[in-house]
Amino acid sequence: MEREKLAKAKRIVIKVGSSTITYPNGKVNYEKIEKLARIMADLQNSGHEMILVSSGAGAVGVGRLKFEGKPKDMPGKQACAAVGQGILMHIYERLFAEYGQTVAQVLLTRADTLDRHHYANSRNTFQKLLEWGVIPVVNENDVVAIDEFKIGDNDNLSALVAGIVDADVDILLSDVDGLYTANPQSHPDARLISEVPEITPELEAMAGGAGSKNGTGGMITKIQAAKVANSSGIALVIASGEDPEVLRQILRGDAVGTLFVPHISHLQARKQWLAFGAKVEGALIVDAGLEKALKQKGSCSILPVGIKAVRGDFESGVTVSVADEKGHELARGLVNYDAQEIRKILGKKTGDVESVLGYIHTDEVIHRDNLVIM
């Protein structure tokens, strides 16, 4: 039933890894890119709205410069990406144009999702491009990104983009054909998991490391991306990029790859930013009663009485994580008090806040309208 819903998907984000569009030596795999462009162009013609998140700039740069491997230092990596990005974009522009499609380069950094106005501008730009029938080709702006503002991998970038554009499905094409019960390279009896109804800590522990020397993301980054996408009401599929024809199979509802099933409808744009765009400045640790209320009700305000501890120093009005006593994240929200104030009133009843602080901003430390359940 969940697979059948994919056949109705209209707006689709496709992420291709370095191993999908380059050979192990970093040289461009023109055959795969040409087939990818042809199939995406055909899907666009059939009424879908396509967004491509492409890795490979660094690998292509390494290949063009005839290096044996990626540089170890950040300036070297960024310089390789600078060389490769232009080459890769030229290839996409030329091949998509052969099938009557126009593409646009969109380079993002984490900073573009941290600021509310930048986030809104990115969303509006994507919307206009899709309205014009243009296929956005997205990558992280590796040339200027610094560690503090790096998204780090294009699996998570694709999930963030899917949230920005309100996509119906995010498809990760990689050198693996899905999530297995164990590492299939070392466990021949490992089974492919066709559908994941819920991402549990046990499932996250099952995720392995990086698959190929040109890639940066292992299965764990794909699980993280699935959490981001699913929490925004977006389905995510992991499938092999060996043959781009798999895209048609997925969008027919065929049982290929691993489908991660969302359980909520799309969050409002503001709450998407709140959950996954805004920088998390600290954490509130809540008691078992509030934890239970959050899980059962789906959303409720965070009152001082249910808070057991505060982590970090932060101002009012920023985004913080809400976690249980074991540190598992339950929600994210905008706080009405700063960390110092919350430490003074945690565990107190609402009626006691004014006597402790000498004033009261609101009854709630986080109002339910400014809270997103993770």
Mean pLDDT of the 148-165 span:
80
Where do you find CATH 3.40.1160.10 in the chain? 1-265
pLDDT digits (tens, 9 = 90+) for 313-349: 998 888 899 999 988 899 998 899 999 999 999 999 9
Specify the pLDDT at position 148: 45
Cα–Cα distance for residue pair 40/35, rounded to 1 Å = 8
Does the pLDDT at position 143 exceed 80? no
Task: For strands 49-54 and 11-16, give the pairing.
Answer: parallel
Specify the pLDDT at position 98: 96
Query: Which superfamily does CATH assign the domain made up of 277-371 to?
Result: PUA domain (2.30.130.10)
Does the pLDDT at position 11 exceed 80? yes
| Average pLDDT along the chain | 86
Please report, in range form, the residues annotated as the binding site for ATP.
15, 174-175, 216-222
SS3 at position 25: coil
Mean pLDDT of the 82-87 span:
89
Mean pLDDT of the 32-55 span:
96
Where do you find CATH 2.30.130.10 in the chain? 277-371
Render 34-102 in DSSP notation, one character per residue. Answer: HHHHHHHHHHHHTT-EEEEEE--HHHHHHHHTT-SS--SSHHHHHHHHHHHHHHHHHHHHHHHHHTT--
Please report, in range form, the residues annotated as the binding site for substrate.
55, 142, 154
Instruction: Band the pLDDT of 110: cuts 50, 70, 90.
Output: confident
Stretch among 83-97, 142-156, 180-194 having the lowest mean pLDDT: 142-156
Instruction: Band the pLDDT of 183: cuts 50, 70, 90.
Output: confident
Render 138-176 in DSSP notation, one character per residue. Answer: EEE-TTT--GGG----HHHHHHHHHHHHT-SEEEEEESS
Does the pLDDT at position 211 exceed 60? no
Q: Hey, how many other C-beta atoms are within 10 angstroms of the C-beta on 244? A: 23
Cα–Cα distance for residue pair 240/256, rounded to 1 Å = 9
Stretch among 34-38, 42-46, 114-118 having the lowest mean pLDDT: 114-118
Does the pLDDT at position 267 exceed 70? no
Instruction: Band the pLDDT of 357: cuts 50, 70, 90.
Output: very high
Specify the pLDDT at position 236: 96
Mean pLDDT of the 248-272 span:
83
Positive or negative, the Cα torsion across 56, 210, 195, 331? Answer: negative
Specify the pLDDT at position 152: 64
Please report, in range form, the residues annotated as the binding site.
15, 55, 142, 154, 174-175, 216-222
Please state, for a pLDDT cut of 70, what percent of the chain lies above it. Answer: 89
Q: Hey, how many other C-beta atoms are within 10 angstroms of the C-beta on 135? A: 22
Stretch among 265-279, 327-341, 344-358 having the lowest mean pLDDT: 265-279
Does the pLDDT at position 168 exceed 70? yes
Specify the pLDDT at position 213: 43
SS3 at position 23: coil
Does the pLDDT at position 274 exceed 80? no
Instruction: Band the pLDDT of 123: cuts 50, 70, 90.
Output: confident
Specify the pLDDT at position 354: 92
Mean pLDDT of the 230-258 span:
93
User: What HEC string does 30-45 produce?
Assistant: HHHHHHHHHHHHHHHH
Specify the pLDDT at position 117: 64
Greatest C-alpha distance within the chain: 71
Specify the pLDDT at position 270: 63
60 and 90 Cβ atoms separated by less than 8 Å: no
Query: Which superfamily does CATH assign the domain made up of 1-265 to?
Result: Acetylglutamate kinase-like (3.40.1160.10)
pLDDT digits (tens, 9 = 90+) for 27-41: 889 999 999 999 999
Specify the pLDDT at position 89: 93
Q: How many CA atoms lie within 13 A of 139 on its CB side?
A: 23
